[in-house]
């Protein structure tokens, strides 16, 4: 005889599904032509960068030029300001790969900006170490400042994943320059100073190194001093 299945009321509610927070980033899954970024917008590396390209390609066997895709994209981004479709096509031509291979790389890694950015591009780290030290407040302050002080398009802002400077969290990268130990007031001051050419990189909490000043620097420090 078949067992009779009886539905039993749950004593505990099902776990609610958490909705991920909205993140501010520039990731674009599909290219959309714009006036400044389309197939008809030419791009050519400068003579100086062409010499740099020769040095980069020399690090790879001739049959593995595709290994240079990332450094060449980075070089193109620094010259052009962002990774336009023209930059990607030029890199594909140099590395002798189908353009799609370069598009795949550029659309996967968030450090490649595929749309124009401001002269002062700010990336606030909101990964776990920075988050625990108030990064969300830092980002909110930066976002509010940029919103109200960006009529000329000088600033652009995004959240980034781990910047690798967890000891000095929270951290913000401004044009790839690190500003550490930030507060809501500190990031606003950095942005103001950066526009005036007065911003000083590094920790903003009085320390002169990456070492946490509140803890011992070495496990044997006390023993060494006592002998």
Q: Which domains are assigned to the chain?
A: 47-108 (1.10.10.1590), 120-203 (3.40.30.10)
Tell me the longest C-alpha to C-alpha distance in the chain: 85
Bond from prior residue into 170 cis (ω within 30 degrees of 0): yes
Q: Judge contact between 169 and 133, C-beta under 8 A.
A: yes
CA–CA gap between residue 59 and residue 64 (Å, rounded): 10
Q: How many CB atoms lie within 10 A of CB 83?
A: 26
CA dihedral (109, 114, 115, 121) positive or negative: positive
**Distance in angstroms (rounded) separating the CA atoms of residues 131 and 136:** 6
Q: Which pTM was predicted?
A: 0.68
User: E strands within 95-203?
Assistant: 120-125, 155-160, 172-174, 177-180, 202-203
Reading the chain (227 residues) residue by residue, the pLDDT tens digits are: 445 545 445 554 544 444 444 454 555 566 676 777 778 888 999 999 999 999 999 999 989 999 999 999 999 999 998 888 899 999 999 999 999 999 999 988 888 888 888 889 999 999 999 999 999 999 999 999 999 988 888 999 989 888 888 888 899 999 888 999 999 999 999 999 999 888 888 887 776 665 655 555 445 545 444 44
Distance CA 67, CA 59 (A): 9
């Amino acid at each position: 005889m078949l067992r009779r299945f009886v539905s039993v009321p749950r004593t505990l509610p099902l776990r609610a599904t958490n909705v991920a927070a909205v993140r501010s980033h520039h990731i674009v899954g599909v290219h959309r032509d714009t006036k400044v970024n389309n197939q008809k917008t030419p791009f050519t590396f400068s003579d100086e960068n062409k010499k740099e390209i020769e040095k980069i390609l020399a690090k790879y066997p001739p049959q593995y030029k595709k290994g240079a895709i990332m450094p060449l994209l980075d070089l193109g981004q620094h010259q052009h300001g962002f990774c336009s479709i023209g930059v990607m096509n030029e890199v594909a031509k140099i590395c002798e790969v189908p353009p799609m291979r370069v598009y795949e790389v550029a659309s996967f890694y968030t450090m490649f900006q595929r749309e124009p950015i401001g002269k002062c591009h700010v990336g606030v780290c909101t990964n776990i170490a920075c988050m625990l030290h108030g990064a969300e407040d830092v980002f909110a302050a930066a976002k509010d400042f940029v919103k109200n002080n960006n009529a000329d398009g000088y600033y652009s802002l995004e959240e980034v994943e781990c910047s690798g400077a967890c000891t000095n969290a929270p951290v913000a990268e401004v044009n790839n320059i690190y500003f550490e130990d930030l507060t809501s007031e500190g990031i606003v001051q950095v942005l103001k100073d950066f526009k005036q050419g007065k911003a000083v990189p590094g920790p903003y909490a009085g320390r002169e190194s990456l070492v946490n000043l509140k803890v011992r620097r070495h496990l044997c420090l006390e023993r060494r001093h006592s002998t």
